[in-house]
Amino acid sequence: MPKPPSSHVPLWRRPAFRALIIQALLLAGLVALIAMMVGNALSNLEARGITTGFGFLGERAGFSIPQTLIDYSGDSTYARTFVVGLLNTLLVSGMGIVAATIIGFAVGIARLSPNWVLARLASAFVEIFRNIPLLVQILFWYFAVLQALPSPRQSLSLMEAVFLNVRGLIVPAPVPEAGFGLTLTALVIAIAASIGFALYARRLQARTGKALPVYWCGAAMIIGLPLLAFVVSGAPLSWVMPELKGFNFRGGVTVIPELMALWLALSIYTASFIAEIVRSGIQSVPKGQVEASRAIGLSSNITLRKVVIPQAMRVIVPQLTSQYLNLIKNSSLATAIGYPDLVAVFAGTSLNQTGQAIEIIAITMAVYLTISLSVSALMNVYNARTLIKER
C-alpha cells in the first residue's frame, strides 16, 4: 500500500517532527539547568571564600587514621588520605564478599534441606536479617556486642594465641624469613599447573569422554607443592605472638572492632539475600533434569555437579553480582561507627576540613561508579560466557 502523501498530515502531528521538538526542548531545558547550577555554584563558592579545583589534594591532611594498610601519618596529603580510605573500603568489601558468599550458600542450601529443623532455622535466619536495616545491624554489633566485650586484661582467649576484647581481635602475626619466597613460588607454580591440567582434562574429555579427577589433583597440587617447598626450605616462617603489656597488647595483628562490626553486619546481611538467590537458583532447575540424569544412570554427585549446579548458576550469577555491588556500596555505612573507609575519611573528615564539597563528593561518587560499572562489565562477560546456547 503506498504511503499517504505526508502533506496531508499537519506538521505537528508527524511523529518524527514531534520527537525532534521534544528532544530539542529537553536539551534546552537541560543546558539551562546546568548553566544555572554552575552559575549559582560559582557565586556561592565565591561568597564563602572556597577556591575550586583539585589543588587541595596536595595539601597536608593533618589528622590521623586508626587503621591504614599503607604508611600514613598526620603529615600525609589529602591524596594519600584518599588512597588509605579506598584501600580500607576494598579490604572490608573483599572480606565481606568472601564471608557473605560462604554463609549465603550454606544457608540457602540448608533452606532446601529435607531436615525440618535445619530448613526452618535457615528460613528464620533469612527472614530476620534481611528485614532489619543494615545500619541497625552495624550499630548493634558495634555498640551492643563488641563494646560489651571485656577489657584487654580480661580478654577472652583461644589457646593463649588469639585474643578478643573491647579493643578488637588480636591474632599472631606471621613473619616470613629468608627462603619463604620459595613457598610462594611453589604456590604460583601449583596454581598455574592446576589450570593447565584442568584445561587439558577438559579437552581430553571433549575428545574421548574420559574424565580425569581435576578437583582432587588441583587441590593436591595447590596444597601439597607449597607445603613441600615450605618443609624443604626449613619452615622459614615465624609468628609474633600477641602479649599483654600494661593495658594493651603488643605484637600480633589487631583487627579493630570497627572493622569486625562492619564485616559481621555486611556479611550476615548480604548472606541473607544470597541465601534466597541460591535457593531460587536451585529451585529453578526443572525437576525433569534431575530425573533424566538419574534415568541415564548418573550418580547423585555427578548429577549435582554437572546438571544442577551449572544450570542454577545461570540464575544465581547475575543476582549475585548485584549483591556484591550492594555490599561494596553498603560498606560506606562504615562512617556511622568510625571505620575509616573512603566515605568516612574522605567525604567526611577531609570534606569538613577543606570545604571542597563539589570536588570531594564528585571524586567519591566517581570511585563507586567506576567499581560498580567495572564489576558489572566483568560479570556481564562471565554471564555471556555461561549463557545457555540456544538456536
Using CB under 8 A, list all residues that contact other proteins: 19, 22-23, 26-27, 30, 37, 40-41, 43-45, 47, 113-118, 121, 127-128, 131-137, 139-140, 143-144, 147-148, 329-330, 332-333, 335-336, 343, 347, 351, 357-358, 361, 364-365, 368-369, 372-373
Closest separation in Å from C-beta 123 to other proteins = 12
Which residues are paired to 325 by β-bridges? none
Neighbours of 368 (CB within 10 A): 17
Whether the Cβ atoms of residue 151 and residue 166 lie closer than 8 Å to each other:
yes
Among 81, 58, 62, which Cα is nearest to 71's?
A: 81
Closest separation in Å from C-beta 38 to other proteins = 8
Give the nearer residue to other proteins in terms of CB position, either 133 or 196: 133
Give the nearer residue to other proteins in terms of CB position, either 73 or 380: 380
Closest separation in Å from C-beta 60 to other proteins = 22
Please list, residue by residue across 162-182, b when 16 or more beta carbons sit within 10 angstroms of its beta carbon and e when fewer do: ebbbebbbbbbeeeeeeebeb
Q: What distance, in Å, lies between the first and last C-alpha atoms of the chain?
A: 35
Give the nearer residue to other proteins in terms of CB position, either 33 or 199: 33
DSSP, residue by residue, 266-280: HHHHHHHHHHHHHHH
Give the nearer residue to other proteins in terms of CB position, either 238 or 374: 374
Closest separation in Å from C-beta 268 to other proteins = 12
Give the nearer residue to other proteins in terms of CB position, either 45 or 309: 45
Give the nearer residue to other proteins in terms of CB position, either 170 or 341: 341
Closest separation in Å from C-beta 317 to other proteins = 17
∠ CA 317-215-276, nearest 5°, is: 25
Closest separation in Å from C-beta 201 to other proteins = 31
Which residues are paired to 99 by β-bridges? none
Distance in angstroms (rounded) separating the CA atoms of residues 319 and 313: 10
Whether the Cβ atoms of residue 307 and residue 289 lie closer than 8 Å to each other:
yes
Closest separation in Å from C-beta 169 to other proteins = 20
CA distances in angstroms from 296 to 17, 312, 371, listed in the order given: 63, 20, 45
Closest separation in Å from C-beta 359 to other proteins = 10
Give the nearer residue to other proteins in terms of CB position, either 51 or 115: 115
Closest separation in Å from C-beta 336 to other proteins = 6
Torsion angle, alpha carbons of 187, 189, 190, 192, to 10: 120
Residue 75's Cβ-count burial label (10 Å; 0-12, 13-18, 19+) is exposed
Distance in angstroms (rounded) separating the CA atoms of residues 218 and 211: 14
The three cell numbers of residue 377 are: 562489565
Give the nearer residue to other proteins in terms of CB position, either 84 or 347: 347
**What residues contact 115, with CB distance under 8 A and at least 6 apart?**
none
Give the nearer residue to other proteins in terms of CB position, either 187 or 360: 360
Give the nearer residue to other proteins in terms of CB position, either 43 or 300: 43
Distance in angstroms (rounded) separating the CA atoms of residues 126 and 271: 8
Closest separation in Å from C-beta 385 to other proteins = 23
Longest dimension (CA), the chain: 95
Q: How many residues does the chain have?
A: 391
Whether the Cβ atoms of residue 96 and residue 372 lie closer than 8 Å to each other:
no
